[in-house]
Structure 1
């Protein structure tokens, strides 16, 4: 069974809780991913600030980080904020524009959360292994980002 099918019921249950609390739901998703996927050593969500100049850490599960705000263009997350495209870094030592959150991190994947083609945030996953991310990991993270964007759109416009 692929990861998307394995995690769909759990993610949908988290995002359909009533009453809905975005912060709690994001934290539950972070915890779900980190505790169930062995090479996900840190999972967090960053969201774009209102002026669209930097990202702000909303929720995470893993080792605390000092990087609560990341300027657009800085590091892997900041690059994704500008490009609106996923970025997979198999070995962070080879990445020139990299912000180290933890000395143990060896690789990173960042997937944007797009709402009506606008980058409103992203999921950031760090691994303490070199090149661990698979196609299934990417598909799962993209699925989660799409579900979060849809939930935020529903809340924003009052759609069911």
Structure 2
């Protein structure tokens, strides 16, 4: 069994490690769709930041450090066996980090709405995700919104940094 308590990239790393442990080879051998032939060891994901959906998805994004390209592994074998979501760790996350997670949630909701694979069912979930997202951002109020806006305006993918 493998357990990870972290944000999305660390959960994705655990998925990649599990794929190699069960199937051998190099993690990038499994980039693409349904290239993982054997099941992974049981994986427990404890999320410490919102937004990535790594704790519930069949995807893992792995960066090849030699060429700085991101590769996507896609397999139902990558879905963690259990995920625990506890809002308590989020109370200590710096606002800039929280803004990244909040922006990620918005991206996932919009992606679901405009996907070529969208269906009436995914449209319902996307619309509800957007309603919940906007309610949560408005409820967070004036302290949080400037941080989120600086993230959106920076163009760098990092809050508060210019182009």
Give the helix-richer structure, 1 or 2. Answer: 2
Give the strand-richer structure, 1 or 2. Answer: 1
TM-score range, shorter chain: under 0.3
Report which structure shows greater RCO (CA 8 Å, sep ≥6): 1
Give the TM-score of the pair, scaled to structure 2: 0.26
Larger Rg: 2
Give the TM-score of the pair, scaled to structure 1: 0.27
